[in-house]
Chains A and B, each alone.
Chain A
């Protein structure tokens, strides 16, 4: 697999939200307003790439040599939780503008399955270091793209007259289905 293939595959074809179903809670939760969607998308791009690289290093240089592969779930979740905490403190101190922009979305990322799932998928696919970096970036960009597109659609739905039982999450899911169908069309690309 070439780098370009991984990049396009990760952003469009195997989009982490719409094709792999990871990170759907924030997808539905933060997409009602464009502002929150942008904040969440930025936070995820930032943390997912970092987490992908760090968990790969941890797995290759610590868990495999010491035969602790079965502890991967616990190790990864701890690394992601502390990474989020660390990133939060670092940003607060050195880049306050970005910290203010990301706001409450940073701590929420600990339980975002897109981040954790992407790390696990990278390991399962047995990618090397550079490919892990490209794959994580592609997943992160795909997440941001889908979330922001979806938020744009959802802002319009609020103005539309939706039948009562279909309102809110229900129509949101149907819309996500249609968006997913659009992404499905990229399948021919690779």
Chain B
């Protein structure tokens, strides 16, 4: 069954959308999504690591001995995580501070290792890049969606991006009299919100 480049890309956006369908890599999903901005930043960082580790794993797939392949994948992934860590420290320092420990934690994100093992080690370079991009963007979208729900209800805001001088996004979406439901931006709200979103996905998918 030959698949096209586009099919590999689009499957990550709905059919195999990472946090919901595969239920992998939940730590950043729950941990950083207090605002949309954090969700997008985290998603893009993960996408970067996914695409480049997929690229490298796919191009080295005939060289890496199968016995030590997991160790090799982890080193490849860790290298790109260090790259994105340093890049974010240099160019988006406030975001880097907000995401904190979750940036180095991309190393142990099951999605990245899972794609390297399940897809990139068996497919050609171009398909692996498409797969990495698709899964990465799907991951970013789900983080942004969860972040949007939590931030809207929990803080009454919708921040897309913060520059040193201004904030791009909406403030007080429901009007100034809306009392934010702070439960949503705190720890317990993350679990409940993701659980209910998963329930919604199941409802949509079962039709």
Binding site for B on A (CB under 8 A): 18-25, 28, 70-74, 76-78, 81, 110-113, 116-117, 120-121, 124, 164-167, 169-174, 176-178, 180-181, 184
Contacts and interface: CB of A to CB of B under 8 A. Distances in A.
A120 B195 contact: no
A116 to B, nearest CB: 5
B104 A73 contact: yes
A167 B90 CA distance: 44
Contacts of B24: 25
Contacts of B196: 170, 174
B79 interface: yes
B113 A25 contact: no
A76 B81 CA distance: 13
10 contacts: A18-B187, A25-B24, A28-B23, A73-B82, A78-B74, A78-B75, A165-B199, A169-B23, A174-B195, A181-B188
Interface in B108-161: 108-110, 113
Contacts, number: 122
B203 to A, nearest CB: 4
A111 B200 CA distance: 29
A10 to B, nearest CB: 15
B185 to A, nearest CB: 13
B24 to A, nearest CB: 6
B57 interface: no
Interface stretch (B6-14, B26-34, B37-45, B173-181): B26-34
A81 B70 CA distance: 10
Given A25-B110, A117-B108, 20 more contacts: A25-B26, A25-B27, A28-B23, A70-B82, A70-B85, A73-B104, A74-B75, A74-B79, A78-B78, A111-B108, A112-B108, A164-B206, A165-B199, A165-B206, A170-B195, A173-B195, A173-B198, A174-B191, A174-B196, A184-B187
A20 B26 CA distance: 12
Given A169-B23, A170-B199, A77 B108 contact: yes
Interface of B: 23-27, 30-31, 71, 74-75, 78-79, 81-82, 85-86, 100-101, 104-105, 107-110, 113, 186-196, 198-200, 202-203, 206
Contacts of A18: 187-188
A174 B105 contact: no
B77 to A, nearest CB: 9
B198 A116 contact: no
Contact of B107 (A28, A116, A167, A180): A116
